[in-house]
C-alpha cells in the first residue's frame, strides 16, 4: 500500500498494489497490479483494470511514489 504524497491531489489517498518479482529480478522489472476502488481513473498511469503504466522505468519498489506523483 502506498499513501499519496502531501501537497498533491493524491494526499492521504490509499493506493493498493500486488507486486510480483520474477525469478530473474532485478534483470526484469516487477509486475504490478493496481487495485482500483473506483470506476474513474485517478491518475493517467493507473488504470481501472489494474494496469500500471510507466513502471518499467524503474526496478525499485519505492519509486512507485514517483509514478503516483506524475
**Catalytic member of 13, 31, 53, 65:** 53
Is residue 53 annotated as part of the catalytic site, yes or no? yes
The pairing of beta strand 2-3 with beta strand 14-20: antiparallel
Q: What is the DSSP string of 36-55?
A: --SSS-SBTTB-TTS-BSSG
For residue 33, the cross-strand partners are 18
Catalytic residue numbers read 53
Amino acid at each position: 500500500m502506498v499513501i499519496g504524497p502531501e501537497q498533491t491531489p493524491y494526499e492521504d489517498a490509499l493506493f493498493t498494489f500486488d507486486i510480483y518479482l520474477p525469478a530473474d529480478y532485478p534483470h526484469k522489472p516487477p509486475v504490478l497490479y493496481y487495485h482500483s476502488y473506483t470506476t474513474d481513473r485517478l491518475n493517467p498511469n493507473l488504470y481501472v483494470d489494474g494496469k500500471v503504466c510507466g513502471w518499467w522505468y524503474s526496478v525499485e519498489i519505492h519509486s512507485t511514489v514517483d509514478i503516483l506523483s506524475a
